[in-house]
């Protein structure tokens, strides 16, 4: 179950980054913020 939850979290983070592709600086900041949850 833990592996599934982690994988799901990573997928959500990747999706958020992809959504903010136009804003590369913001994407980097978001990636750093979500790094703790990914």
Number of structural domains found in the chain: 1
Question: In this structure, what token pair is assigned to residue 19?
Answer: 């959504």
- What is the chain's mean pLDDT, rounded? 65
Residues in contact with 20: Cβ distance below 8 Å, sequence separation at least 6, in sequence order: 26, 27, 30
pLDDT single digits (tens) 4-17: 665 777 777 666 66
Tell me whether residue 12 is in a domain: yes
- For the chain, the first-to-last Cα distance in angstroms comes to 15
- Per-residue confidence (pLDDT) for residue 2, from 0 to 100: 58
pTM: 0.29
Is the pLDDT assigned to residue 1 strictly greater than 60?
A: no
Q: Is there a domain that residue 2 lies in?
A: no
Range of the domain at 30: 8-37
pLDDT at 38 over 50: no
Q: Which pLDDT belongs to residue 32?
A: 72
| 1 falls within a domain | no
């Amino acid at each position: 179950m833990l592996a599934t939850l982690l994988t799901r979290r990573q997928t959500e983070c990747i999706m958020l980054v992809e959504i903010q592709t136009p804003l590369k600086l913001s994407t980097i900041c978001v990636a750093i913020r979500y790094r703790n949850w990914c």
